[in-house]
Chains A and B, each alone.
Chain A
């Protein structure tokens, strides 16, 4: 059974600081997704990582994938308040992108 673990579960940080969210998974997979969810809202796709060593960047967020270590990271650079949200990683267990196992999420709060 595929298990996906994120840490930390909660993260409170000041504006301007850097931090990393970690996503570990238990079985071989080369497709990993990062989503953002604002309170009471749906999920928004951030990144799709499709191979070992993949790195994607958008604004202050950068995601990477190490399939050998079964680890993905989401790095936040110089955080701003607008990044406050819950971030989920999800792993595809089928290779087709339609059967995702989600981590429990990291609730990020960026203090003004």
Chain B
């Protein structure tokens, strides 16, 4: 199993550009989530999904869109990048049943100029 994979690993954007961060998992997990990590602030939940076709907002959803058309994929879209979105983005997945431990991807470092 590859686990949770994310692409790209690093991206530089100009203000106003849009892009999609990719996340995929091969563990057949129902739950998937996106977090951003900023220095001194821990991780904050952006959006999450409890299954294909179902998404919901987390703590900091503004400026981001998600969709979940398959169990495996959960892309995060930045509509119009802003410098405040410079961060490290982590995707995570977990089983619906059980202990709920989330498995994290390697992260995407995003710099918005």
Contacts and interface: CB of A to CB of B under 8 A. Distances in A.
A42 B43 CA distance: 11
B102 A98 contact: yes
A105 to B, nearest CB: 5
Interface residues on A, range: 20 to 34
B84 interface: no
Most chain B CB inside 10 Å of its own CB: which residue of A33, A98, A99, A100:
A98
A48 B42 contact: no
Nearest to A43: B104
A42 B106 contact: yes
B90 A42 contact: yes
Q: Is the interface of A mostly helix, strand, loop or mixed?
A: strand
B56 to A, nearest CB: 8
Nearest to A103: B42
Contacts of A41: 106
Contacts of A92: 100
25 contacts: A31-B100, A33-B100, A33-B101, A41-B106, A42-B90, A43-B92, A43-B104, A45-B102, A45-B103, A48-B100, A48-B101, A88-B42, A88-B43, A96-B50, A96-B96, A97-B99, A97-B102, A98-B94, A99-B33, A99-B58, A100-B102, A102-B35, A102-B43, A103-B42, A104-B42
Given A45-B102, A99-B45, 15 more contacts: A4-B42, A33-B101, A42-B90, A43-B90, A43-B92, A48-B99, A88-B42, A96-B100, A97-B102, A98-B96, A99-B33, A99-B48, A99-B58, A102-B42, A105-B42
Top 4 nearest A-B pairs (CB, nearest first) are A97-B100, A102-B42, A98-B31, A102-B43
Interface of B: 31, 33, 35, 40-45, 48, 50, 58-59, 90, 92, 94, 96, 98-107
